Structure 1
Amino acid sequence: MTPTEKNTIFIKQQAAALGFDHCGIARAVQLDDDARRLEQWLHKGMHGTMRYMENYFDKRIDPRKLVDDAQSVITLLLNYYPEQEQRPDAPRIAKYAYGQDYHEVIRAKLNTLLLRMQETIGAVHGRGFVDSAPVLERSWAQRSGLGWIGKNGNLIHKQAGSFFFIATLITDLPLEYDSPAGDYCGNCTRCLDACPTGALVQPGVVDGSRCISYYTIELKEMLIPDTMQGRFEQWMFGCDTCQDVCPWNRFSKPHSTPEFRPIPEILNFSTREWETLTEDAFREIFRHSPLKRTKFRGIQRNLKFIS
């Protein structure tokens, strides 16, 4: 067994030991096709007010500009599919936000993985990223064999569906590389047909400026356009519609990460309890929750819009 093969096996074993469900590895190269698609997407204004998407374009498409002498892009998936559901009459919250903020949970795991690599392999340089840096994580996941980008824009794993967080570790360590995954959406259009706001403008292309997740999380303005009135289907924070209708998610299984156990209030709060929640109580209950991203006033805005 060569050192490269040995290091690859070690990294995948450690990823599993840290609780990651899947690990794939791709060669660090410039993503030319993705660059063209991203440029077109931005030119059409599909990022709405998310101006940060325009920044660091060169780094988004080339991991070697994020890590000097980058050789490999390690992609890791962490399941967040919950065993429990919200009460049916409550304002709806995307499943990824049921528990603790995934940024905090995954960042700690990535740091530990890199440390173990350095302790065992030697002078390894790398950086971990969790949905908060200029990395096209879904493209890297596809290139590393972990799934394909579905018509709803989400990464879909053939044996496990799409309810996964995606993390990326870029390193200067050469490794064995996995083969890209094929596309298995076929002729299915359930996600395209089900999107409440028509944000899925064509297979694999999401108009972010029309997505419920954009309006309920990313939009910082206090007024949601009247054209969206009555189209949110009670989604107060995020939206899972395009994933809920996806046939591949019949393979989803409940996660085993303690930090992602649902906050009781998310499962049990009625509409009335959400409406009467004070800002101090919100900050206390959701201090480690993804809900803090939209802040208390954002939740109140969303509640009024869907009521």
Structure 2
Amino acid sequence: MTKYDYTKWIKEWTRDLGFDHCGIAKAGRLDEDARRLESWLHQGMHGSMHYMENHFDLRIDPCKLVPGAKSVITLLLNYFPGREALKDAAEEGAPRIAKYAYGDDYHEVIRRKLNLLLKQMRDGIGEIEGRGFVDSAPVLERTWAVRSGLGWIGKNGNLLHKQAGSFFFIATLIVDLELEYDVPFAGDYCGSCRKCIDACPTDAISDDKVVNGSQCISYFTIELKDLLIPDAMKGKFQDWLFGCDTCQDVCPWNRFSKPATEMAFSPIPAILHFRTAEWEELTEESFKEIFRHSPLKRARYAGIRRNLHFITPGPPPASS
């Protein structure tokens, strides 16, 4: 068997596991990204996300994550809920949830798929050392996606795929197996468009493709653990209760988005049908039950209450 055969098998296996796109790049140190990341951190654009400062060497060198690494396999999994689901969730003034959080926690879903893929590779090819990652580890997954030929980085910092837009999760599998490598994506099809820059409610996106994470609504509603959100952000959240999709919603490339086929990402009914009153009446016990498999549990009940208070006019909602 040759590396061509192995590559063909792996791409077939990823399709069987439900991944929408697969690209493969040669493992190597990311020196240019190291300089950009260092500058971004020095400017404090990570806010209180101090974990971004950790394991810097691991982020820029896959061989430090998997000794002897030869290939970085990048996988895309669509999570777009579909136009009908969005209509159900679009009542004026209802708290809004980022689309990636409509269904089950993607970390759990994708980790299972990566473990199955690695097992298939070991069963079909032989002993392979490898590790899979889903955005919670020190891996620059968007860079590897570009190097794998899957798309380009848009002005909003998201990976854009010409046929799929940006509503997908990125997973990475680093292995010590040499494979056939895809041609890196060389184009940038954002052109003069600046819809995402102009639409960002908190001006977190700059003209030079740098996103100030510490000014993003997703940062304030998910990552920030303080009891209070800064008053300077008052009136800018556009009813976003958890995360924000504004820069993706206005992106012309997302007109190509199609409904996800992964059943685990089917919207939780509460996401589509809860209005402000239901969120206000939600008890901690009910929150833990309804959202036990949801990304919303990352913000915890207290965080959701804080966010609801911040975007809802009038006095704070009554505590449970």
- Tell me which interval the TM-score lies in, with the shorter structure as reference length: over 0.9
Aligned with residue 175 of structure 1, among 174, 179, 185: 179
Q: Which residue does 1:72 correspond to in 2?
A: 71
> 1:60 aligns to what?
59
Q: Which amino acid aligns with 1:105?
A: V
Is the contact made by 1:152 and 1:203 (CA closer than 8 Å) also made in structure 2?
Answer: no
**What percentage of residue pairs aligned between the two structures are identical?**
69
1:200 and 1:207 in contact (8 A); partners too: yes
Shift of 1:175: 0.4
Output the CA distance in 2 between the equivalents of 1:88 and 1:63: 45
Instruction: Give the aligned partner of residue 141 of structure 1.
Output: 145
2:47 maps to 48
Task: Find the aligned partners of 1:228 and 1:190 in 2 and give their Cα distance.
Answer: 21
Structure 2: which amino acid aligns with 1:88? E
Alignment partner, residue 9 of structure 1: 8
Q: Distance in 2 between matches of 1:242 and 1:204?
A: 12
Aligned to 1:201: 206
Paired residue type of 1:98: Y
Count of residue correspondences: 306
Does 1:281 pair with 2:308?
A: no
Find the partner of 1:104 among 91, 103, 108. 108
Task: Please state how far the C-alpha of 1:202 moved relative to its aligned partner.
Answer: 2.8
One-letter amino acid of the structure 1 residue matched with residue 264 of structure 2:
E
Structure 2 unaligned regions, length at least 5: 313-320
Residue 203 of structure 1 deviates from its aligned partner by 3.4
Distance 1:88 1:6 in 2: 51
User: Which residue number corresponds to residue 236 of structure 1?
Assistant: 241
Amino acid at match of 1:202: D
Report the Cα offset of residue 150 of structure 1.
0.3
Letter in 2 for 1:101: D
Pair 1:223 & 2:223 matched: no
Read off the aligned partner of 1:174 and give its amino acid letter.
E
- CA shift, 1:183, in A, is 1.2
Equivalent-residue separation in structure 2 for 1:203 and 1:138 (angstroms): 17
Instruction: Give distance in 2, aligned partners of 1:252 and 1:44.
Output: 34
What secondary structure is seen at the aligned counterpart in 2 of 1:206?
coil
Q: Say if 1:192 and 1:203, in contact at 8 Å, map to a contact too.
A: no
Q: Which residue of 1 aligns with 2:32?
A: 33
In structure 1, runs of 5+ residues without a counterpart are none
Q: Normalising by structure 1, what TM-score? A: 0.99
4+ long deviations beyond 4 Å: none
Q: Distance in 2 between matches of 1:21 and 1:205?
A: 27
Task: Name which of structure 1's ranges 179-188 and 44-53 shifts more when overlaid on structure 2.
Answer: 179-188
2:48 maps to a residue whose letter is: T
Say whether residues 1:301 and 2:306 are aligned partners.
Answer: yes
Amino acid in structure 2 at the alignment position of 1:206: V
Determine the structure 2 residue equivalent to 1:257. Answer: 262
CA root-mean-square deviation: 0.7
* Structure 1 counterpart of 2:120, from 116, 119, 124: 116
- In the superposition, the TM-score normalised over structure 2's length comes to 0.95
Secondary structure in 2 matching 1:188 = coil
Q: Tell me the secondary structure at the aligned position of residue 82 of structure 1.
A: coil
Q: Secondary structure at the match of 1:168?
A: strand
User: For residues 228 and 31 of structure 2, what CA distance do their matches in structure 1 show?
Assistant: 38
Does residue 127 (structure 1) correspond to residue 157 (structure 2)? The answer is no
AA at the equivalent of 1:220: K
Give 3-state SS (helix, strand or coil) of 2:241's partner: strand
**1:271 equivalent in alignment to 2:276:** yes
Per the TM alignment, residue 283 of structure 1 is displaced from its structure 2 partner at its CA by 0.2
Q: Shift in Å at residue 88 of structure 1?
A: 1.5
SS in 1 for 2:206: strand
Tell me the distance in 2 between the aligned counterparts of 1:184 and 1:67.
Answer: 33
Q: CA deviation at 1:79?
A: 0.1
2:91 counterpart (88, 108, 113): 88
In 2, distance between residues paired with 1:228 and 1:201? 18
- Amino acid across the alignment from 1:231: K
Amino acid at match of 2:80: Y
The letter of the residue matching 1:306 is: I
Give the Å deviation of 1:180: 1.1
Shift, 1:234, TM fit: 0.4
Match of 2:318?
none
Q: Structure 1 residues 87, 188: closer, same or farther in 2, change over 3 A?
A: closer
Distance 2:188 2:23 in 1: 17
